[in-house]
């Protein structure tokens, strides 16, 4: 239970200075093919922002492994960015994910999706920001396809492809665009050979098998009030307070006080 002064005023300040919206949460079931007749191994992770397989994940994985071996060399954000760029430059030369279209196949809502032959990476998106702010789906641009606008709370994921580390670099400086492949509620990525994968920046090597991404509820997140209509924000704030009351975080009297204060601040 929050106290009537400090905790209550802090909660009120947070709510009144930021609108609340919903963010989809996704479950990633990772299945590895068994080679010894045993049942397939399955583990689960959770995704909020994005999942990548191929060249982008390889750069992240190599950076992660190098930092694990020599943590003392990663002494500042500037140095980290230089080393990350170095791994990207190395991948440009190696092109170790150039065979992705022949080793990976994509299934969206039960339908096979063609992967362009020049692709070296697939990225599954839940939000409109990637690599520090790159809008890969590009809601604000006109497109000659039939895809819908991207939303972080529509229970739908977007899939794009990229053509290597050089393409990723061009995306970051606005000199190129990702290729839009699909939208759907259930994404399956099958791999017949090992590939680097990253989920919200956590890289690992995916052995031959399948990544299955399905919706797993929604969570609240704060946004600047200007980004959401006030009526919508007020409705979600009310839901947040009702949930807080039901969990014993606040009592009925505190809920009423907060609702009154929110109404005043949003009026």
Q: Of the segments 45-49, 128-132, 137-141, 220-224, which one has the largest average pLDDT value?
A: 45-49
pLDDT at 126 over 90: yes
pLDDT of residue 21: 72
Q: For the chain, what's the residue count? A: 267
pLDDT of residue 81: 47
- Under a CB-based contact definition with an 8 Å cutoff, are residues 171 and 178 in contact? yes
Rounded-to-integer distance, Cα 96 and Cα 2, Å: 54
Matching residue, tokens 């950076």: 63
Strands, sheet with 50-54, edge to edge from the N-terminal-most edge strand: 179-184, 157-162, 121-125, 50-54, 195-199, 202-206
Query: Do residues 40 and 33 touch, judged by C-beta distance below 8 A?
Result: yes
User: What's the rounded Cα separation, in Å, for the pair 87 and 8?
Assistant: 48
Pick the more confident residue, 247 or 176: 176
* Residue 168 tokens, joined: 């990723």
Residue 19's nearest CA partner among 258, 266, 259 is 266
pLDDT above 80: residue 229? no
- pLDDT score, position 17: 54
Domains and CATH numbers, the chain: 19-220 (2.60.200.40), 225-266 (no CATH)
Q: Per-residue pLDDT tens for 168-225?
A: 777 777 788 899 999 999 999 999 999 999 999 899 999 999 999 999 998 877 665 5
- Write down the pLDDT at residue 23: 87
Task: Indicate the DSSP class of residue 149.
Answer: P
Whole-angstrom CA distances from 187 to 106, 111, 148, 241, 257 are 8, 10, 17, 34, 44
pLDDT, one tens digit per residue, over 70-123 is 665 546 554 444 444 444 445 444 567 889 999 999 999 999 999 999 999 999
pTM: predicted TM-score of the whole model, two decimal places: 0.72
Neighbours of 71 (CB within 10 A): 9
Question: What's the rounded mean pLDDT across residues 152-163?
Answer: 95
Residue 97 pLDDT:
86
Mean pLDDT (the chain) is: 78
In what order do the strands lie in the sheet containing 104-108?
41-47, 19-32, 209-223, 187-191, 104-108, 111-113
- Work out the angle between the directed axes of helices 77-94 and 55-69 (0-180°, nearest 10): 130
Banded model confidence at residue 67, pLDDT cuts 50, 70, 90: low
**Lowest mean pLDDT, pick from 122-131, 169-178, 220-229, 256-265:** 220-229
Question: Of residues 224 and 58, which shows the higher confidence score?
Answer: 58
What the block records as the tokens of 30 is: 């990772």
Q: Assess whether pLDDT exceeds 80 at residue 242.
A: no
């Amino acid at each position: 239970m929050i106290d009537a002064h400090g905790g209550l005023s802090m909660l009120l300040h947070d709510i009144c200075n930021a609108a609340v919206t919903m963010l989809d949460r996704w479950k990633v079931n990772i299945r590895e093919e068994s080679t010894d007749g045993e049942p397939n191994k399955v583990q689960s992770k959770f995704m909020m922002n994005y999942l990548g397989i191929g060249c982008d994940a390889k750069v992240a994985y190599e950076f992660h492994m190098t930092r694990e071996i020599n943590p003392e060399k990663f002494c500042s954000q500037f140095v980290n960015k230089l080393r990350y760029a170095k791994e990207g430059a190395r991948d440009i030369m190696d092109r170790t994910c150039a065979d992705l279209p022949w080793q990976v196949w994509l299934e969206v809502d039960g339908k096979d999706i063609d992967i362009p032959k020049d692709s070296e990476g697939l990225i599954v998106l839940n939000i409109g920001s990637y690599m520090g702010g790159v809008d890969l789906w590009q809601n604000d641009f006109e497109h000659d396809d039939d895809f819908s606008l991207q939303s972080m709370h529509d229970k739908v994921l977007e899939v794009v492809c990229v053509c290597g580390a050089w393409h990723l670099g061009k995306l970051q400086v606005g000199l190129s665009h990702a290729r839009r492949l699909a939208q759907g509620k259930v994404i399956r990525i099958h791999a017949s050979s090992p590939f680097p994968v990253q989920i919200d920046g956590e890289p690992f090597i995916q052995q031959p098998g399948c990544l299955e991404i399905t919706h797993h509820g929604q969570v609240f997140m704060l946004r600047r009030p200007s980004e959401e209509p006030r009526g919508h924000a007020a409705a979600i704030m009310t839901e947040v307070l009702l949930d807080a009351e039901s969990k014993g975080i606040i009592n009925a009297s505190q809920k009423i006080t907060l609702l009154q204060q929110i109404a005043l601040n949003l009026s």
